[in-house]
Copies of this chain bind each other. A is one copy, B any other.
Amino acid sequence: MRYLKFIVLCVLLTWQGYSQSEDEKQIKTIYKTALTQSKSYDWLNYLSNQIGGRLSGSIQAQQAVDYTKAQLDSLGLDRVWLQPVMVPKWVRGTPEFAYVETAPGITTNLPICALGGSVATPLQGVKAGMVEVNGIEELELLGKEKIEGKIVFFNKPMDPTLINTYESYMGCVDQRYAGAKEAAKYGAVGVIVRSLNLRLDDYPHTGSMGYGDTESAQRIPAAAISTNGADFLSTTLKLSPNANFYFKQSCKVYDDVQSYNVIGEIRGSTYPDEIIVVGGHLDSWDLGDGSHDDGAGCVQSMDVLRLLKESGYKPKRTIRVVLFMNEENGLRGGKKYAEVAKSKQENHIVALESDSGGFTPRGFSFDCSEANYGQVKSWGSLFEPYLIHMLIKGHGGADIGPLKDSDMVLAGLRPDSQRYFDHHHSAYDTFEHVNKRELELGAAAMTSLVYLFDTYGVVK
């Protein structure tokens, strides 16, 4: 009996050793292919510089659908298709304008941009006194008496002491998303929100906001101000508490329009019904060209299928790339994809999203069971030579979130986060800030993870 166990152990170890070295070999090939023959940087160049910002419902968003579909068509996948989805259409209109006025006629212009989903100001703009708060919590302390008729200036900065900048972001994104809704309850006439940016610069950063069930007539306009602008404004208000703030924006919501998720797949040779999804979102905000958010994630996801093909690997399971539409202001693409998948009773075993910028990959976060997480952790040594050290539990991604069920692994690529919010949702999110190698290393890491899930499946 003991002898038998020993033999079994030897066989297992040999097999493990063999498969580990097969995995090492395959991952090495994937990285080599990514760093010498990737198309992701060229694709991103086109998306960013030939198309540009791709806000849902815009002509550019449609151009991005057409372009990425054509590129996927050219890869010789087993199937490429468009999945229709209706998306909201919010349009910024003419550039916003704002100033602070410390005495009649003494004004300083400040860089603002409307938050996505905000209503316009009246044609002549809004001009009012201002009250500064350090986050939504302070509205209640001030009360209606001090807020009514004023513009509320939300100036809570991102916490610079947190190492993961997403945690800093989560600590103040509520003032952007819900600031207007909350301030309106106290009679505010507008809100100006400090940009969610850890850097001091002159770019206002947009992003989605919502009015919840606030009635149309009570909805007040909301705009972001650059971090330098916010510091200037705060100082000005300390010196001149009665200063007036003026801003004007002409943004508008139109009826929903037809758009698409772009999907392509390599059908699995052995378990075609087990689907591994990899994706990013094709829409972006309108101020920059959306290179980091999330052009990078789209081209990396497209590259996963291409790199598998180029490196001569034939997937056992179905590998599907999904470029989701409308992550930024509606998540309609992600919801639609999950709805269709469920209605067709498709068996998604893994979904991997890249939506944290095209920076040097540091690892992945996993939203999954302990058993699945244990499986992933066992692959750690395969990733170490590629300086992928973080295989942590955490959020997968917004677009793949609606797919979640208890048996599934949701995963998110985790690139270095230090520079991300410098660019996020602003005119500073442009192609020249993406490094080719860093982008390719992300694609290689994603491809390697997909390869491992394809090879071993997920434990139940």
Contact = CB atoms under 8 A, between A and B. Distances in A.
A345 interface: no
Contacts of A436: 199
A360 B416 contact: yes
Interface in A366-385: 385
A452 interface: no
A385 B416 CA distance: 14
Scoring A390, A435, A437 by chain B CB atoms within 10 A of each residue's CB, the highest score goes to A437
Nearest to A200: B436
Number of identical monomers bound together in the oligomeric complex: 2
A32 B163 contact: no
A160 B35 CA distance: 6
Contacts of A441: 163, 418
Given A160-B35, A161-B36, A435-B422, A389 B389 contact: yes
A451 interface: no
A419 B438 contact: yes
A362 interface: yes
A31 B436 CA distance: 30
Interface in A151-167: 160-161, 163-165
21 contacts: A31-B163, A32-B161, A35-B160, A163-B387, A164-B387, A165-B437, A198-B437, A199-B435, A199-B436, A360-B360, A360-B416, A360-B418, A387-B390, A389-B389, A389-B390, A416-B416, A418-B435, A418-B441, A419-B435, A419-B438, A422-B435
Given A418-B437, A422-B435, 12 more contacts: A31-B161, A32-B161, A35-B160, A35-B161, A36-B160, A160-B437, A165-B437, A360-B418, A389-B390, A418-B441, A419-B437, A419-B438
